[in-house]
Structure 1
Amino acid sequence: MNKSLLLNNFLLAVIWVIATGVATAENFIFGFIIGLGILWITATKKSDRKYFVILPKLVYFLLFLVWKLILSNISTVKESLYSKSKLEPGIVKVPLTLKDEFHIVTLANLVSLTPGTMVMDISDDKKVMYIHVMHLEDKDKFIRELKEDFENKLVELFA
């Protein structure tokens, strides 16, 4: 992502907040959207256009991540409060399609951020991630959901 465009977008949002005199999150977001429109109209380089493709993907991914964290927290609270539920801890070997080290570390951090899961290790060849799961009913389902929910979305985001 073009960092100068992102910085300019934030700067335009701050200018909007100062110009309107209303310092709220909603007004900043509105200023950010207006700044995005201004930057889109004035973008001359083809490389600058990539910013306008990545930014909506990033916003969608962050909203998706917040939603998954909320669901995971609710599940963890249920597991903690109700003694009838059985914890089924397990370690899952997840094959990785991500190649770049930054992308793999990002995935590992997202997995560890989610309650009930923790990345234990990544193989030396960066092809396998070992994850401890607090409540593991079906390994294949866990791997499939992890790949669909996080890994594939990261591939789209970083493409």
Structure 2
Amino acid sequence: MIVLILLLTITWMALQSSFTLPDLIVGFLVSFAIVSLASRFLSMPFTDGGLGRSRIDNRHYARLTFKWIAFIGFALWSILKANLDVARIVLFRRVADIRPGIIAIPLDVKSDAGITVLANLITLTPGTVSLDVATDRRTIYIHCIDVQDADAVREDIKQNFERRVMELFP
């Protein structure tokens, strides 16, 4: 927990472009509030001991923080790579050679938060858009700008996107 609070405090100070004691205090208080509010969302107790609350291992928070950092890095890399792919399609391919399509992808992720993050990650990646999630939440439908092999696109999304989302939101 303290690792996450410190990372958020440093981020706060960097965004303020000021490394003064008042900014440190305000950043710490804002970070503490964010972590305490987010702890319910992440289904983790906030405090260590006291009043019958369970004790939390700080290594868990550090591991979760590093997973989030890795996920954000992966998302940014995927967005950059997809931008280059879309630029290559637009600049160097004839319109007749582009094969757009809608693909149904079976979902292993079950939580609402996981499905939402996956759908947003797909939509943020240029060349793909999440269209709908089936009412039984077992399938997501996406539109791809160029589908040469639907099975390859499906496998890529399941192995790269969904697997990483499931590490954070089972």
TM-score (norm 1): 0.74
Mapped to 2, the partners of 1:50 and 1:84 lie a distance apart of 51
Structure 1 unaligned segments of length 5 or more: list them.
21-42
Question: What is the CA-CA distance between 1:19 and the residue it aligns to?
Answer: 5.7
Mapped to 1, the partners of 2:115 and 2:73 lie a distance apart of 20
Q: Say if 2:132 and 2:140, in contact at 8 Å, map to a contact too.
A: yes
Question: What is the CA-CA distance between 1:47 and the residue it aligns to?
Answer: 4.4
Mapped to 1, the partners of 2:93 and 2:152 lie a distance apart of 24
Question: What is the CA-CA distance between 1:46 and the residue it aligns to?
Answer: 2.4
Q: Report which stretch shifted further, 131-140 or 149-158.
A: 149-158
Structure-2 residue corresponding to 1:91: 102
Does residue 73 (structure 1) correspond to residue 96 (structure 2)? The answer is: no
Q: Report which stretch shifted further, 109-118 or 75-84.
A: 75-84
Structure 2 unaligned segments of length 5 or more: list them.
22-46, 49-54
Q: Report which stretch shifted further, 60-69 or 102-111.
A: 60-69
TM-score (norm 2): 0.69
Matched-pair identity in % = 28
Aligned pairs, how many? 134
Structure-1 residue corresponding to 2:19: 18
Q: Which runs of 4+ in 1 moved over 6 A?
A: none
Question: What is the CA-CA distance between 1:9 and the residue it aligns to?
Answer: 3.9
Mapped to 2, the partners of 1:157 and 1:57 lie a distance apart of 7
Match of 1:111 among 122, 129, 144: 122
* C-alpha RMSD over aligned residues: 2.6
